[in-house]
Amino acid sequence: MDLTLVLQGLLSGLLFGGVYSLMAVGLTLIFGVMRVVNFAHGDMMVWGMYLSYLLATRAGIDPYLSFVVCAAALFALGLLVQHGLVDRVIDAPHEMQILLMLGVALVLENLALVAFGPEPTRVRSPLGAATLWLGPVFVDIARLVTFVVAVLLTAALSLFLYRTDLGRTIRAAADNTYGALVVGIDVRRVYAVAFGVGAACVGAAGALVSSILPFQPPTGLSLSVTSFNIVIIGGMGSLLGALIGGLLVSVAESLGAVFLKPSLKELVSFSLLIVILLFRPAGLFGKRTS
Amino acid sequence: MSALLRLDGLEAGYGDLTAVSGVSLEVRRGEAVALIGANGAGKTTTLRAISGLLPVRAGRIEFEGARLDGLGPAQIVARGIAHVPEGRQLFPTMTVRDNLELGGRAADRRHRDDALELVFALFPRLHERERQLAGTLSGGEQQMCAIGRGLMARPRLLLLDEPSLGLAPVTVKLIFDTLQRVNGDGMTMMLVEQNVPRALQLSHRGYVLENGRIVLEGTRESLRASPHVKQAYLGL
Ligand SMILES: Nc1ncnc2c1ncn2[C@@H]1O[C@H](COP(=O)(O)OP(=O)(O)O)[C@@H](O)[C@H]1O
Ligand SMILES: [Mg+2]
């Protein structure tokens, strides 16, 4: 086995992991605050990708700029889905919420199919061709920028949650919903904001990978599955867990592609999930109870 | 004196169960009023209906002359009623300071800092544990934190649901002494308690709730003298 190849796999995996972290942070935020699993998470991300595709092809805006617009658009979509749909079943049994979110996922995927067809696409960015050699390994500039932006966005989100009044009310509602009602927090509004912010994460993540990862409407399902995997590895509801878990899964997949076959990368990340759950049933940073 | 809070024929419940009905009572400015009764009598239900945490099925609730029933909990907090709920309902993985400041969100920064200073003066223990997570506090400290969180809203009426529940006698004394001081400084209170001797010590007047209905009301002295209260609640 060639050591350079391993190093290269490690580096590429780590850099791609920023996007995984960002999408998992969005999912874990939504779950942590309202105990709803967003089964449409990956499909929302695919819409972020197509949006950046449209902005690139129609308006000539590079995805590394348009991610802001995509985040804003997905924030609005998240707000709408929460306010118009999820809110109606928030107190209903879990299977109702699961059915609803699966329905939203189907609608989003098939709308993408109607609008953009089944062919895989990717967005061209001038950054896509640039590489930088670091001794024996190269750094893909697009991946590097994606990584830096994704990590900065995750940091900004945690500043928002831990340093602002609105962020604090979101954490309070996640910690004790009844307690939040008691102190007069408008919990429905908090839910809408949390769902919007969670969706904005995949809006940005989608735009940021749209020039690296070829995508088509069914990509959403595999992105959802990867997001769940990361969130469970990191611990449901834990932001730090999502961040670390995203990097871990991405590195594992990348090394799996080096050591096994690229098509077996999921095997590696699910094996990682099983091993971690054996030793830490609540995930790396999960709380054992509740 | 005019009533700050007036309940008129209040009815509330859960599903098919009517937990309280025909509850009429009033709390006047500056008073401490006790609502006493056995476990399951409907005390918590009554407080939750006042705070908008449970829908009012019939009757009306007036606060400072305006109707409250039909408003949501956020609006009712904004009108000036703070609720210190049964079981405290703190934010366990957040700091004591976060918990307190969440109680005073409506106020601007300066008012919030004043209120915080006041709460720390009442409960120095909370000041010492400011940075500690609320879930790691002792039961008594959690109760102080819950009361402090209620006071942070600078309410004109403070609702207290079983502040003595599960606490050691010395802690109960400390908490009731503090509540007495707060009431003495002009805070109107409505107190739900199963610890009837303590409740009557603090309150000017009281209501006795049995099976969701008010069966007796009166001043502290008249309640203490009532044969029914003596026998059923004071164990005399
Ligand atoms: N969440 C609930 N769901 C269904 N029934 C409830 C609920 N909470 C209380 N009850 C019932 O309502 C009645 C009054 O309860 P509650 O107001 O909690 O009494 P208290 O506070 O005086 O102990 C009781 O019969 C209780 O079993
Ligand atoms: Mg009770």
Within 6 A (CB) of ligand 1 lie B 14, 17, 19, 37, 39-45
Nearest CA in chain A to B47: A182
Q: Cα–chain-centroid distance for residue A282?
A: 20
Per-residue pLDDT at A290: 44
Per-domain residue ranges of chain B: 1-80+188-236
Give A193-233 pLDDT, tens digit per residue.
999 999 999 999 999 999 999 999 999 999 999 999 999 99
| pLDDT-derived band at A289, boundaries 50, 70, 90 | low
- Integer angstrom CA distances of residue A74 from A44, A47, A52, A83, A197: 7, 8, 12, 14, 8
Mark out the alpha helices in chain A (DSSP H runs). 3-34, 41-59, 63-84, 94-116, 141-163, 165-175, 177-182, 187-209, 219-234, 239-259, 265-279
Query: Which residues from chain A sit within 8 angstroms of residue B101, using beta carbons?
Result: 168
H-helix or E-strand containing B220?
helix B220-225
By residue count, chain A amounts to 290
Give B125-177 pLDDT, tens digit per residue.
999 999 999 999 999 999 999 999 999 999 999 999 999 999 999 999 999 99
Q: Comparing C-alpha atoms, which of A204, A200, A221 is closest to residue A147?
A: A204
Q: How far is the CA of A105 from the centre of ligand 2 (A)?
A: 43
Q: Comparing C-alpha atoms, which of B79, B77, B69, B138 is closest to residue B105?
A: B77
Give residues 146 to 205 of A whose Cβ lies within 8 Å of B. 165, 168-169, 171-172, 175-176, 178-186
CB neighbour class for A91 (10 Å; exposed up to 12, middle 13-18, buried from 19): exposed
Name the residue among B83, B94, B101 with its Cβ closest to that of A182.
Answer: B83
Give B31-75 pLDDT, tens digit per residue.
999 999 999 999 999 999 999 999 999 999 999 999 999 999 999
Homologous superfamily, domain B1-80+188-236: P-loop containing nucleotide triphosphate hydrolases (3.40.50.300)
Query: How many domains does chain A contain in total?
Result: 1
Main-chain dihedrals φ then ψ at residue A281, nearest 5 degrees? -60, -25
pTM of the model: 0.91
Q: Do B74 and A185 touch (CB under 8 A)?
A: yes
Q: Comparing C-alpha atoms, which of A241, A237, A205, A239 is closest to residue A223?
A: A205
Q: How far is the CA of A18 from the centre of ligand 1 (A)?
A: 49
Q: Which of B105, B112, B151 has the highest number of chain A CBs within 10 A, making it the mutation to test binding with A?
A: B105
Distance CA B191, CA B162 (A): 7
Per-residue pLDDT at B1: 54
Per-residue pLDDT at A287: 77
Q: Comparing C-alpha atoms, which of B163, B192, B230 is closest to residue B37?
A: B192
Cβ contacts from A onto B, under 8 A: 58
Give A239-259 pLDDT, tens digit per residue.
999 999 999 999 999 988 888
Q: Do A179 and B89 touch (CB under 8 A)?
A: yes
**Would you tell me how many other CB atoms lie within 10 Å of the CB of residue A222?**
13
- Expressed as residue numbers, the domain containing A119 is 22-132+146-234
Tokens linked to B69: 């029933």
Instruction: Classify residue A287: in a domain, yes or no.
Output: no
Q: Do A183 and B78 touch (CB under 8 A)?
A: no
Ligand 1 atom with the smallest distance to the CA of B47 is: 17
Mark out the alpha helices in A176-238 (DSSP H runs). 177-182, 187-209, 219-234
Distance CA A68, CA A209 (A): 13
Distance CA A118, CA A218 (A): 8
CB distance from A54 to chain B under 8 Å?
Answer: no
What is the ipTM for the molecules in this complex? Answer: 0.95
Question: What percent of chain A is predicted at pLDDT more than 70?
Answer: 99
Distance CA A132, CA A140 (A): 7
Query: Which residues from chain A sit within 8 angstroms of residue B14, using beta carbons?
Result: none
Give B86-113 pLDDT, tens digit per residue.
999 999 999 999 999 999 987 777 888 9
Give A116-130 pLDDT, tens digit per residue.
999 999 998 888 778
